[in-house]
Amino acid sequence: MDKELAVVILAAGKGTRMKSKKPKVLHELMGKPIIRYILDAVSPLNPALTGLVVGHNGEQVKKQLGDSPLVFIDQEQQLGTGHALKQAREALVDFKGNLLVIYGDTPLLTTESLEKLLEVHSENNSWATVLTTDMPDPHGYGRIIRSENGEELQAIVEQKDLEPSQQQIQEINSGTYVFRCPEVFSILEKLDTDNKQGEYYLTDIVHIWAQEGKKNYPVKVDDYQEVMGINDRVDLSQAFEILRGRINRQHQLNGVTIEDPANTYIEPGVKIAPDTVIRPGTILEGNTEVGENVVLGPDTTLIDTRVGRDSRIIKSHVNKTEIGPGCSVGPFAHIRPETVLQKGVKIGDFVEVKKSTIGEGSKVPHLAYVGDATLGPGCNIGAGTIFANYDGQKKHHTHLGREVFIGSNSTLVAPLRIGDRARTGAGAVVTRDVEAGVTVVGVPAKPFSKKNK
């Protein structure tokens, strides 16, 4: 833990332009709320305290982040960024060190940039250090006013307060700062609302300290997209494209072939081994892990799923499933949670599997429903087979032994056990257990003999 670093994230704004009842920082970006990206960037810094200033619908934010080691700070009235930071004074009453302040709507910030900001702050014994960038279209952002030698920071001027000569400045304020603490809380008392927005500007701290002869420094990041704030749903979609590009590029550099990155969606927590091929229309969500030499897609969705090496999944939807090595799934398969496909399993077209374990080398080639079942190795399930697992009140289990053959259009009525190498004839309705090696036929199914042939 860095006892000389504290973090305050400002997340109390109403987010009016999102036109939503949900707080802006809880809107999702590639499977995670915006605020989670800020927390992920800050976590490696190991601060002594991380405070989150909440206001509009703050209870929703607290509920969503209840599992995080945060200090929640309430801002009942939103009177500007300076006022927001002022609310953190009590939480930091005994803290002496560097205070990192970040806006809660900047999900593209990286840990590396924050580390650089803190490094420059410490090396220069700065009072305030601000993360900046050159923005191609700086309209709407506060502009950075540097000293004559270009090294120090003299002031930050908000868009509405710009003089005509300052309109062309492209270096903008990202809203990410490091301040000396507790000195910053003393200077907050000197802020006023003498500006066109009638708010307490956090940026005024820089100007006041500069006038007092205290040195402040800017730290410029090369990629202006990194400091992008989310103000509306257009911004949200732009951030989505940027983040998706980052993620896809990193997987490509790690040895994954992504045939069409613009039509591939991979969430941040996904892990993919080298020599895997991702075809167009593939969506990988949650904690999905994919082994080596796998082919995914086209048009395949995996959610919280593990895929073993050398498997292939095409045009299918798979959720919370363990897929072993050398498996084949799809096209048009639906694999539901709590399913395990062991080595070399084939799940073919228009097959649904739910809460079942399919043994090594078993095949469910097409047009079948397998629910609440255990299949031993080497089984073959014919087209049109239904595992009837629900009696109207409860779910029941079906157990198949080794190398069981189920004829087309069979119905297996659970609870049921079918022994090793048993068989059912086409169209059989099996309501009773079947012993090993026995063939059953008919409705209801009975052991086959020459007499009933």
Residue 96: CATH number of its domain: 3.90.550.10
**Amino acid found at 18:** M
**Tens-binned pLDDT, residue by residue, of the chain (453 aa):** 788 999 999 999 878 899 998 999 999 999 999 999 999 999 999 999 999 999 878 899 999 998 888 999 999 888 888 999 999 999 999 999 999 999 999 999 999 999 999 999 999 999 999 999 999 999 889 999 999 888 999 999 988 888 998 989 999 999 999 999 999 999 998 888 777 777 888 999 998 999 999 999 999 999 999 999 999 999 999 999 999 999 999 999 999 999 999 999 999 999 999 999 999 999 999 999 999 999 999 999 999 999 999 999 999 999 999 999 999 999 999 999 999 999 999 999 999 999 999 999 999 999 999 999 999 999 999 999 999 999 999 999 999 999 999 999 999 999 999 999 999 999 999 999 999 999 999 999 999 875 544
Nearest to 161 by CA among 190, 193, 188: 193
Q: What is the pLDDT of residue 453?
A: 47
Q: What is the 3-state secondary structure (H, E, C) of 399-446?
A: EECCCCEECCCCEEECCEEECCCCEECCCCEECCCECCCCEEECCCCE
Amino acid identity of 103? Y
Say whether both 149 and 286 belong to one domain: no
Which one-letter DSSP state was computed for residue 388?
E
Question: Could you tell me if 213 and 306 lie in one domain?
Answer: no
Given 180, 211, 227, the domain boundary residue is 227
Residues 40, 157, single domain; the answer is yes
What does the chain come to in residues? 453
> Could you say which of 366, 396, 397, 399 is catalytic?
366
Partnered with residue 278 across adjacent β-strands are 258, 296
Could you tell me if 331 and 424 lie in one domain? yes
Same domain, 410 and 304: yes
The predicted structure's pLDDT at residue 450:
53
374 located within any domain: yes
Residue 238 lies in a domain: no
The closest alpha carbon to 174, from 215, 123, 221, 237, belongs to 221
Q: What is residue 160's predicted lDDT score, i.e. its pLDDT?
A: 85
Looking at the structure, do residues 197 and 265 belong to the same domain, yes or no?
A: no
Measure Cα distances from 323 to 5, 351, 378, 380 in Å: 44, 15, 16, 18
- Structural domain of 299: 256-447
pLDDT at 296: 98
* Residue 366 annotated in active site: yes
Q: How many domains would you assign to the chain?
A: 2
In this predicted structure, what is the pLDDT of residue 11? 93
Q: What is the CATH number of the domain that holds 420?
A: 2.160.10.10
